[in-house]
Amino acid sequence: MNKRLRLSTFQIGSPRKRGEGLRISTTRRPPRGVPKSRRKRYGNFDVWLPALAPTEKLIRRFKHRDWENPSVRKAFFDSYERELLSTAVGRQNVEFVALVAKHIRASIGCYCEDESFCHRSRLFKIIKGFA
C-alpha cells in the first residue's frame, strides 16, 4: 500500500499550526535557555533530530557568503544534500522521517525565518524523494 506523505515545515518558536503533527527539529543545537520540559509549550518542537542538520563545517564554509545570490544558496543546498546522503546515518534518518510522515502528520523545522534560505526547504525535497 502506497501512503501519501504528510509532511510540512515550520520555524522553531512559531506557534503550532493545525495539521503540523509531530514537530521535528532539524537543527545542530537545541534552543538556548529553554528547558527540555518547556520546548513544547514554547512552540519549539516535539523531538530533536540533529543528524538532519548541516554540519558546523558546512555552515562555516558558507557563513560569510552572499545569501542573496541564488548560486550561493544552490551551492550550499547541493553541498548539504551530498553531506547528508553520504553517510548511512543521514540516509537512515531521512528514510525514517519519510516513513513516519506516511503514517502520521509530521513537520521539520529550523530557526531560519526565511525558508528559501534554510536547509529545511532542501530537506523537505530530499525526504519526499525517499517516500
Q: Where are the domains of the chain?
A: 7-130
Q: Of residues 18 and 108, which shows the higher confidence score?
A: 108
For the chain, the maximum distance between any two Cα atoms, rounded to a whole number of angstroms, is 46
Say yes or no to pLDDT of 128 above 90. yes
Q: How far is CA 130 from CA 45, 95, 100, in A?
A: 23, 6, 12
Q: How many helices (H) and strands (E) does the chain have?
A: 4, 4
26: which 3 cell numbers?
532539524
93: which 3 cell numbers?
534518518
Dihedral through CA 69, CA 72, CA 78, CA 82, nearest 10? Answer: -160
Say yes or no to pLDDT of 2 above 70. no
- Rounded to whole angstroms, the Cα distance separating 93 from 84 reads 9
Sorted by sequence, the CB contacts under 8 Å of residue 27 that are 6+ apart come out as: 12, 48, 50, 53, 109, 110, 111
Per residue in 15-71, pLDDT tens? 888 889 999 999 998 767 667 776 666 668 889 999 999 999 999 999 999 989 999
